[in-house]
């Protein structure tokens, strides 16, 4: 028999475990909570499809037809998801990304469909970038030497902004990381009377290995990388400079992307930002959890929820996640059980 004395805490000692004793007590003292309205669902619509196509690198995520996009959007809205972010995949690409601002381009058709069908019951967002539309897969037009021409790209972004606003987007997500993109888009919107369209600036978008599955999702044509315009993963202070510039140019909301590998940047940006700040839980983050769960390495549902609460703890006001509808439905079910 072990005769060693059992250590006893002194009378009146602080015991943080007191606040963890029951699920109800833990819920009552929780510092951060997930709500369905905090979640935004990224969605892919592909012009050439006649039926939805599953993605091998992102289990459970589809490339949609217009019909399946609308059905999935309605499901998300019914679950209370805060908004929908649309990405378009055209049948024909060219060097200028001409389909990006064509009124009958797939993304603009999808925006018009959702705005007509869903109206103001949700927030409809458009990815404003050329990479899905260009034959070379870069986020801008190319100069003669093959580099991305920043200022020529701004002209294309301005045209896209007007087209997406006219198609019904409430929010435009500027994800191209071109210098001056926020000012160019805000000017184009205001000059055409679209004063109420919101500009979401991907203020800190890093060049990342975690974008891999997204390349499948948009049938990316990219050869090479985007390191001359997306941020270097080693730089945190630079992200704050980008945020400051975007806010000064008129950004209404700012974004940090990717999410989990950059929670430190998100926390710093949230502390500094005078406007709402969002985060994007990107394709590689999604795939890691899904495939780890399939392998039996982690418990899927708790891992999803833990990853999302991490964004809230770091300061995100909203999170783009491919689990938005599923998590919203889960949260609704838990709320119903408690009522």
Tens digits of residue pLDDT in 148-200: 999 999 999 999 999 999 999 999 999 999 999 999 999 999 999 999 999 99
Mean pLDDT of the chain: 94
Q: What is the pLDDT of residue 3?
A: 67
Q: What is the pLDDT of residue 153?
A: 96
In 3D space, the residue among 97, 74, 95 whose CA is nearest the CA of residue 84 turns out to be 74
- Residue 309, CA atoms < 13 Å, CB-side half-sphere: 12
Dihedral angle of Cα 178, 40, 72, 283, to the nearest 10 degrees: 60
| pLDDT > 90 in the chain, percent | 84
Check: CATH 2.60.40.10 for 35-338? no
pLDDT score of 81: 98
Mean pLDDT of 222-249: 91
- What is the pLDDT, as a whole number, of residue 157? 97
Structure tokens at 24: 């109800």
As a whole number, mean pLDDT of residues 124-147 equals 93
* Residue 312 is a catalytic residue: no
**Which position among 257, 262, 269, 287 bears the catalytic label?**
257
What global pTM score does this model have?
0.94
Q: Is the pLDDT of residue 1 over 60?
A: no
* Separation of alpha carbons 193 and 327, rounded Å: 37
Q: For residues 234 and 236, give the distance between their C-alpha atoms in angstroms, rounded to a whole number.
A: 7
Which pLDDT tens digit goes with each residue over 251-310?
Answer: 999 999 999 999 999 999 999 999 999 999 999 999 999 999 999 999 999 999 999 999
CA trace torsion 281, 283, 284, 285 (10° rounding):
30
Helix ranges (H only) for the chain are 23-28, 66-79, 106-118, 150-167, 181-191, 212-217, 237-249, 263-272, 283-294, 300-314, 324-338
Instruction: Catalytic residue, from 64, 138, 205, 312: name it.
Output: 205
């Amino acid at each position: 028999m072990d005769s060693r004395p059992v250590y006893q805490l002194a009378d009146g000692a602080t015991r943080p475990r007191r606040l963890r004793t029951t699920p109800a007590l833990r819920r009552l003292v929780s510092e951060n909570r997930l709500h369905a309205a905090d979640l935004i669902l990224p969605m892919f619509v592909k012009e050439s499809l006649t039926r939805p196509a599953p993605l091998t690198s992102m289990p459970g995520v589809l490339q949609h037809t217009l019909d399946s996009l609308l059905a999935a959007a309605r499901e998300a809205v019914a679950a209370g998801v805060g908004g929908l972010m649309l990405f378009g995949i055209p049948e024909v690409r060219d060097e200028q990304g001409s389909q990006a601002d064509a009124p009958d381009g797939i993304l603009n058709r999808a925006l018009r469909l959702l705005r007509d069908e869903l109206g103001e019951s949700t927030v409809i967002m458009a990815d404003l970038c050329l990479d899905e539309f260009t034959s070379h897969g870069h986020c801008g037009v190319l100069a003669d030497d093959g580099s991305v021409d920043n200022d020529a790209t701004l002209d294309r972004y301005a045209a896209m902004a007007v087209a997406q606003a006219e198609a019904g987007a409430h929010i435009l997500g500027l994800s191209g990381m071109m210098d001056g993109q926020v000012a160019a888009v805000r000017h184009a919107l205001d000059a055409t009377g679209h004063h109420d369209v919101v500009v979401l600036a991907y203020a800190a978008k890093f060049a990342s290995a975690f974008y891999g599955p997204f390349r499948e999702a948009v049938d990316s044509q990219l050869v090479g990388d985007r390191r001359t315009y997306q941020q270097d993963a080693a730089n945190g202070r630079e992200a704050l400079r980008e945020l400051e510039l975007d806010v000064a140019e008129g950004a209404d909301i700012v974004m940090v992307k990717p999410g989990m590998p950059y929670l430190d940047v998100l926390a710093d940006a949230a502390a500094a930002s005078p406007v709402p700040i969002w985060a994007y839980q990107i394709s590689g983050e999604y795939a890691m959890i899904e495939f780890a769960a399939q392998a039996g390495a982690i418990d899927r549902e708790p891992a999803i929820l833990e990853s999302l609460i991490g964004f809230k703890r770091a300061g995100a006001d909203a999170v783009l996640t491919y689990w938005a509808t599923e998590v919203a439905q889960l949260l609704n079910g838990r709320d119903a059980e408690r009522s």
